Amino acid sequence: MRLTICAVGRLRGGPEKALIDDYVQRFERTGRGLGLTALSVVEVEDKKGGGMEAEAALLQRALPRGARLVCLDERGRVESSPAFAVRLAAWRDTGVQELAFVIGGADGIAPGLRAEAAHLLSFGPMVWPHMLVRVMLTEQLYRAASILAGAPYHRV
């Protein structure tokens, strides 16, 4: 199963980018033997300032064809890391080929795009900067792969 993170905004070099790159590399090394073949980050930017709807159109064009959609949303489900790993494995085991995680802009994700999601995921009721959400998501994907591999990275 290939995974894509589609996010609004461009991440320049810096500590967040270094962390994301590191977790993506770790995920790919760990996930390869688990049927989790690739993790990529695709960025879109609404240069015309069209708001959530314009961002949603850009995000939809960036999504891999036929991808199962997961939106990061404050109204989503808060899950433990082991539960998230089980969910990821279930998608893989039921034949999902492409899984796309969407991170919206400052105002969130347009309701129409959010309604298309197979799952809404939340990192809790606090508001997080979008660049940190990318770091947190890549870390949780790596943690999920580590849990599925039986590695000691995650301690219960």
Average pLDDT over residues 73-93: 96
CA distances from 6 to 66, 68, 93 (A): 14, 12, 23
Q: What is the structure's pLDDT at 48?
A: 81
Fold adopted by 2-149: Alpha/beta knot (3.40.1280)
- Within 8 A by CB and 6+ apart from 32, the residues are none
Is residue 156 over pLDDT 70? no
Euclidean distance between CA atoms 18 and 107, whole angstroms: 26
CB neighbourhood size of 10 (10 A): 9
CA distances from 153 to 30, 40, 129, 133, 142 (A): 11, 22, 25, 20, 9
Is residue 27 over pLDDT 70? yes
Which residue did the predictor score with more confidence, 107 or 154? Answer: 107
Find the helix or strand (DSSP H, E) in which 148 lies.
Answer: helix 130-149
Average pLDDT over residues 72-81: 94
Q: What is the structure's pLDDT at 127?
A: 87
- Within 8 A by CB and 6+ apart from 125, the residues are 74
Is residue 143 over pLDDT 60? yes
Is residue 19 over pLDDT 70? yes
* pLDDT tens digits along 44-74: 998 888 899 999 999 999 999 999 999 999 9
Q: What is the structure's pLDDT at 47?
A: 80
* pLDDT tens digits along 104-125: 998 899 999 999 999 999 999 8
Which residue is associated with the tokens 């810096």? 14
Q: Where are the domains of the chain?
A: 2-149
Which residue did the predictor score with more confidence, 22 or 130? Answer: 22
Q: What is the structure's pLDDT at 155?
A: 63
Average pLDDT over residues 120-148: 95
Euclidean distance between CA atoms 144 and 153, whole angstroms: 10
Tokens of 43: 């960025």
| pTM value surpassing 0.75 | yes
- Within 8 A by CB and 6+ apart from 144, the residues are 81, 84, 85, 88
